[in-house]
Amino acid sequence: MTKAGKVDFVAALQERVLVFDGAMGTEIYRRHVYINRNFEELSVSEPTLIRQIHKDYVEAGADVLTTNSYGVNRDALARFGFAERTVAINKAAAELARGVVKDAKRQVFVAGSVGPISVPGLVRVRRIELLTEQIAALAAGGVDCLIFETLPTRALAEDAVAALQAAAVTLPFIVSFAVNEQGESSVGEPVERLLLPFGSLAPAAWGLNCGLGPDGLLGAVERAVHHTRTPVIVQPNAGMPKEVDNRRITLCSPEYLATYAKRYLDLGARGIGGCCGTTPDHIREIARALRPLAQQRIEIKAVPGEATALKPAVPLVEKTKFSAKLARGAWVTSIELVPPRGYNLADVVAKAAQCKAAGVDAINIPDGPRASARISPLVTALEIQQKAGIEAMLHVCARDRNIISLQADLLGCAAVGLQNLLFITGDPPKLGPYPSASGVFDVDSIGLVRLQARLNRGLDLGGQGIDPQTRAVIGVGADPNALDFDREVRRFREKVEAGAEFAITQPVFAAEPLFRFLDAVADLKLPVLAGVWPLASFRNAQFMKNEVPGVVVPDELLTRMGAVESRDDQRKVGIEIAREMVAKIRHRLAGLQVSAPMGNIATALAVLAP
């Protein structure tokens, strides 16, 4: 910690995910500076412009500002007649960013940007000399760390580290490579080779930036995170770049980039920002998407000595009709009904009654799916259970309530007899129509399970006894198609260890990923229900494939859905596909949860029909 109580850069990387800023060159060009100017010299000649760009990134949510110094080495500046101003321009770049950070209302770090020197024919000794001068000047200007970015080869990274040693600078540093779609450097070095240690001098983080858009970097990010325990920073371009005076300027949707930012986070990235073509708007969307997911979460732990106060949990077979069937190994079925946007529950109750008449065991009630605002799922579940006479399965989401409110609602569920609960972390608000709403996320789904398991044994969050104890049936989600399969399996095991009693998967459209997941967790012997989504139309199939996290719709299914023209025929094909999938996977499952697309109960029941 610093004297002011602020966390240093290395500690911050370990504690939370940091949002990096976006492109500097793109912003300078957007603000009507022509490309025949040297953009880095503007730190001296037009400091107000550069300062405002930094301010815009801070206001957008950046935790790390990158100095306007990417190409500020003596040889590069000589082209413009600025060679003798090398030190001054570097120091000015650092001081401008430092001044903006000083005025910020939260802690923001300054990373000194150092670009590669890859001029053909330039000897290594000269490259190191040029870099050494730049590094020393940036350090003198007050940067918190250095970022050697857009490195095309391992050799140039080694030059940068040698220059750091020559400059006798002890600042933390990031080594960030530009790779191709195969995850290789410009000379064919795989990302695993690029991320090998530099002897005794270790980077604070590795990075992948530039060269590729959000999707193109995904595979390399996954490989990098799996290869190293050092934090990984990801800064993709906003699409395919165009060369402009050794800079690459591109344009792309901020929302699109934010979607991939969440994927990088899911893979384990510790810093996410943008490179060429990205703007404060891109960083704003990234920050909105990541803040709810990336903040530290409350950890629910046992208090020493409280174990003696814990009561035995009620056995699964005694809790509800649904749980009794699970405990006996009987086949169970559930249909998902989404609460309405208004407050008239008559239609959803009538649909639940249809499900009961068809022999369905429970009605699954989502909690604000895709961050939508609907009538309280708790009220919906209670109305269904009381008026339709069928057990409800209520989703409990960590997104919208703090831990105190969540505990209050769980006790409320116990009081009114809502005992089948499915605990989920929840989609961030940015996914829905209320993107400015705050995501709470005091805990994730694992923390929620721990909380409910304690209540089931007669202790609340603060270690206070409750009598009688709750009798909730604890369900959790599972994603067989997770980008980081090992992480998904690890988290699933943590959920079971925390107290999960059954699981429901994301919608399954291919048997192989499901079987792979079930094989990986077979030793846990937890009842698993597969999520089944009967595709309602070709358009619905496209939406599920492209817009719903955790869902993978194979191309051959899209082809089948598109082979018929009318929506009714497409619905029939969707039912046919779902029934075929059920036939393939049924023998590995405890039951099914079938969604009713657009509330169409007939479609869901057709999937379950004998």
Same domain, 425 and 285: no
Report the pLDDT value the prediction gives residue 318, as an integer from 0 to 100: 97
Residue 12 CA: distances (Å) to CA of 175, 289, 294, 340, 589: 17, 19, 12, 42, 43
Give domain status of residue 222, yes or no: yes
- The answer to whether the CB of 367 falls within 8 A of the CB of 413 is no
What is the per-residue burial (b if ≥16 Cβ within 10 Å, else e) of 479-500?
Answer: bbbbbbbeebbebbbbbbebbb
Give the pLDDT confidence of 158-209 residue by residue, as tens digits.
999 999 999 999 999 999 999 998 999 999 999 999 999 998 899 999 999 9
Those residues with Cβ within 8 angstroms of residue 203's Cβ, 6 or more apart along the chain or in another chain: 172, 173, 174, 175, 230
Q: Which of 251, 275, 291 is the last residue of a domain?
A: 291
Give the pLDDT confidence of 205-220 residue by residue, as tens digits.
999 999 898 888 999 9
Same domain, 272 and 352: no
Give domain status of residue 95, yes or no: yes
Same domain, 538 and 426: yes
Give domain status of residue 447, yes or no: yes
Report the pLDDT value the prediction gives residue 215, as an integer from 0 to 100: 83
Same domain, 149 and 247: yes
Percent over 70 (pLDDT), the chain = 90
Tell me how many domains the chain contains. 2
Give domain status of residue 311, yes or no: no
H, E, C per residue of 384-433 = HHHHCCCEEEEEEECCCCCHHHHHHHHHHHHHHCCCEEEEECCCCHHHCC
Same domain, 244 and 359: no
Check residues 329 and 398 and name the one with the higher pLDDT: 329
Q: Which residue has the tokens 């890859």?
A: 118
What CATH number corresponds to the domain at position 388?
3.20.20.220
Q: How far is residue 293's CA from residue 444's CA, in Å, rounded to a whole number?
A: 9
Binning pLDDT at 50, 70 and 90, where does residue 551 land?
Answer: confident
| Average pLDDT of every residue of the chain | 90
Give domain status of residue 510, yes or no: yes
Give the pLDDT confidence of 456-484 residue by residue, as tens digits.
999 998 888 999 999 999 999 999 998 77
Same domain, 392 and 485: yes
Same domain, 525 and 379: yes
Report the pLDDT value the prediction gives residue 158, as an integer from 0 to 100: 96
Give domain status of residue 9, yes or no: no
Report the pLDDT value the prediction gives residue 244, as an integer from 0 to 100: 43
CA nearest neighbour of 254 among 210, 215, 284: 284
Report the pLDDT value the prediction gives residue 427, as an integer from 0 to 100: 72
**Residue 301: pLDDT over 80:** no
Q: How far is residue 214's CA from residue 286's CA, in Å, rounded to a whole number?
A: 12
Report the pLDDT value the prediction gives residue 308, as an integer from 0 to 100: 47
Same domain, 283 and 353: no
Check residues 119 and 155 and name the one with the higher pLDDT: 155
**Residue 251: pLDDT over 60:** no
What CATH number corresponds to the domain at position 95?
3.20.20.330
Same domain, 321 and 278: no
CA nearest neighbour of 526 among 562, 493, 487, 572: 493
Neighbour tally for 329: CB within 10 Å:
9
Global pTM value: 0.61
Q: Which of 54-58, 329-333, 374-378 has the lowest mean pLDDT?
A: 374-378
**Average of pLDDT values for 65-69?**
98
Same domain, 260 and 190: yes
Check residues 298 and 492 and name the one with the higher pLDDT: 492
Same domain, 271 and 333: no
Give the pLDDT confidence of 359-369 residue by residue, as tens digits.
999 999 998 66
Report the pLDDT value the prediction gives residue 254, as an integer from 0 to 100: 87
**Average of pLDDT values for 390-415?**
94
452 is in which domain, residue-wise? 316-608
Same domain, 435 and 577: yes
- The answer to whether the CB of 216 falls within 8 A of the CB of 188 is no
Residue 565 CA: distances (Å) to CA of 121, 568, 581, 597, 603: 62, 9, 23, 19, 18
Q: How far is residue 495's CA from residue 473's CA, in Å, rounded to a whole number?
A: 13
Q: Which of 233, 257, 291 is the last residue of a domain?
A: 291
Report the pLDDT value the prediction gives residue 239, as an integer from 0 to 100: 66
Give domain status of residue 526, yes or no: yes
Report the pLDDT value the prediction gives residue 248, as an integer from 0 to 100: 46
Give domain status of residue 302, yes or no: no
Binning pLDDT at 50, 70 and 90, where does residue 107 land?
Answer: very high
Q: Which of 291, 325, 354 is the last residue of a domain?
A: 291
CA nearest neighbour of 164 among 142, 138, 140, 131: 131
Element (H, E) at 121: none
